Structures are given as C-alpha cells and as structure tokens.
Amino acid sequence: MHMHSPITRRISRQIHVGNVAVGGGAPISVQSMTNTDTLDVDATVAQIERLQMAGADIVRVSVPDMDAAEAFGKIKRRVSVPLVADIHFDYKIALRVAELGVDCLRINPGNIGREERVQAVVSAARDNGIPIRIGVNAGSLEKDLQKKYGEPTPEALVESAMRHIDHLDRLDFPDFKVSVKASDVFMAVAAYRQLATQIEQPLHLGITEAGGLRSGTVKSSIGLGMLLMDGIGDTIRVSLAADPVEEIKVGYDMLKSLRLRSKGINFIACPSCSRQNFDVIGTMNALEERLDDIMTPLDVSVIGCVVNGPGEAKESDIGLTGGSPANLVYIDGKPASKLRNDHLVDDLEALIRAKAKEKEARDEAVIARGA
C-alpha cells in the first residue's frame, strides 16, 4: 500500500454520481445493490447504511414500478450515499425518480420505446445533472442479436451497448457510463476490452451472476483483476449471492491488492504452520471482524514465527511476529513491545486502533496546513 500502483489507467471522460466522481482519473468507486424490498423503506435504508459503513461509494436500488419510485424518494431523503435507480422499460419511472433526486439512472435507452420517450428521459437527466448508466447483460440480449450471433458473444454485447449509446449520441448526451456484463469471465473480459477502445465514457465493471461468496469472489477477482490490470474500469460491483456488504469488502480488497485504493486495513498474514507461536488463523478472523469499521489506510502484518515475521513487520505500520515466550510487535518497522498470547487479540486491536487515530490526526494536520 505504500507503493504506487504500476497500472496505467485508461483515460476516460469524468461524470459525477452525486458527489462521487467516476472516470477521468478519479479513484475507482466500489458499489453494491440492495436486495431488500424497495417498498420496505426502513429495511432498505438500514441496508444502505450498512453498505455505507462498509465503505460503499455508490448504492443501486431496484425501482420496478411507480410505488417503488415513491418509496425511493423517501429512501433518498434518509441516506447520504449516492443512489442509482435501476429501471427497466417504463420511462415514466425514470422521470419520477429524476424529480425525487436520483443520482444516476440505470436504464437502457433502446428498451424504453419511442424516440420521444428517450428524449424525455434524457431531457430530465440533463436538466437535473443526472448521468445515465447503460447496462448490457449477456442474459438479456435483444432477440435479433441472439439470432445474429447464435449465442451471447463479446461482439454481441458490444453491439448491444453501441445501439444504446447511439440513442444518447443523437441527443448529444455524453454523461453516461457503460457495463457489458456476462457470467463467463472470458466473454466479459473480451467485451470490456473491445468497448474500451470504442468510447471515451467510464466503464462500470462486473462479472454478473458470479456465484456465491467463495466461488463468486474467485470468479470476480480473476475477471475484474484482468481488466483492472489493463487499466480498464472506473467503478466496480462484485456480484455475489451473499450479503451485499460482502460485495463491498471483496471489492475493496481487490483494489487494495492492485494498489488502486487504500481504504481500510491491508492485512498481510501467513497461512500458518507448525512453527507458529500463536493461533494465526483465529487471530486474523477476530481482527478482521473487529476492525471492519476502520477506514484509515494501514498495513498490518500478522506472521506466526520469526522466519518471515521481522521482514514483513519492517514494511508494515504494525507488525506482529510470533516468538517465545512472547510475541514481538513492530510499529513503523521498529521493535516496540511484546505481547503474550492470553490477551493477544485485545492488545493488538488496541494498538491498531491507536495507530489509525494517530494516522488520521497526522493526515488532517497536513490537510489543514495546505488549506
């Protein structure tokens, strides 16, 4: 995390989803989608707040009908994170949520009917400073494209995207982002690579319907990792059949591993072996659960023995190296104290929280001097 990422990002046009910049060199934003009933305003607000606590930059909410649109307006008034309304087919829903303060419209122009309807939505978006997300999915390609290509292909996804983009180009509306998602890693990666050379707008990355927590994390990490290494991608959603909060956690871990974002703790931990002088796995599980709330960038190494422990600790903000009769703690690369196993997690948590507060205060002082 202390080193600059070697990735050269694709240059894209910048749009704003609420107060979050997307594209144009802005940090890659992490988003998720609520899975509560939108009509249940309290439950949806509670889930959005949990997502925001986990670090979500943007949250998408499904708005399938006018009742949901009215509920969306109530939800919007109670949260501070930017909200995207997910809308299909009915342009009147888009017009209504535009009035209610939506931060982005997820709607495919080609799916909402006659040209005057598209014009009405684009006018509402333009007048209210709302960007549009075009979302193409391999599972819902247009029938003529299915017939033309025989099956979903990268070329079919890109052709579908360009059709929708043409609607916005004709209306001189450039403030949009695009996704071309597939559950197949190779198809999604190829489609994004093709599209990245054809438009200047930001790209929303995702491997759709990736699977459960473990399998979906692996599949998403491979697919999105390939694209991010190419410099492609301005905002991401990790689609998991799991608690949406897990999508945010995985997304940030992915970006941290590529040095593209540095929010929260970057843990370096050994897989443990018979040389360990404390329970590495139990310690890590407890620390990750307890320290979820810390958003300050920190490197923390947890190594069970002296083989690799000192080397990793010297490169970390806080490092723990297993030893006997006590474990050695390094702070800013220097030996600082020793911790025994009986209160190891409690003591280490306290040290990490203190270091986070110290770093926050230092960063705030730097900002204040530059103001």
Tokens of 42: 């309290």
In this structure, what are the phi and psi dihedrals at residue 92, rounded to the nearest 5 degrees? Answer: -65, -30
Query: What are the residues whose beta carbons fall under 8 Å from the beta carbon of 370, sequence distance 6 or more?
Result: none
- Burial label, 79 (beta-carbon count in 10 A; 0-12, 13-18, 19+): middle
* Numbered residues of the known binding site for [4Fe-4S] cluster: 270, 273, 305, 312
Q: Which long-range contacts (CB under 8 A, 24 or more apart) does 283-292 make?
A: 283/320, 283/344, 283/345, 283/348, 286/345, 287/345, 287/348, 287/349, 287/352, 290/345, 290/349, 291/265, 291/349, 291/352, 291/353, 292/54, 292/249
Rounded CA-CA distance 116/134 in Å is 18
Q: Which spans in the chain are helix H?
A: 41-54, 66-78, 91-99, 115-128, 143-149, 154-170, 185-196, 213-229, 244-257, 280-290, 309-313, 344-370
Tokens of 94: 């888009």
| Coil, helix or strand at residue 222 | helix
Find tokens 């490197």 and name the residue.
Answer: 299
Tokens of 147: 């017939």
Among 4, 2, 27, CA closest to 301: 2
What is the DSSP code string of 327-347? Answer: EEEEETTEEEEEE-GGGHHHH
| Coil, helix or strand at residue 203 | strand
* Numbered residues of the known binding site: 270, 273, 305, 312
Rounded CA-CA distance 191/151 in Å is 14
Instruction: Tally the residues of the chain.
Output: 371
Rounded CA-CA distance 155/171 in Å is 25
- Burial label, 289 (beta-carbon count in 10 A; 0-12, 13-18, 19+): exposed
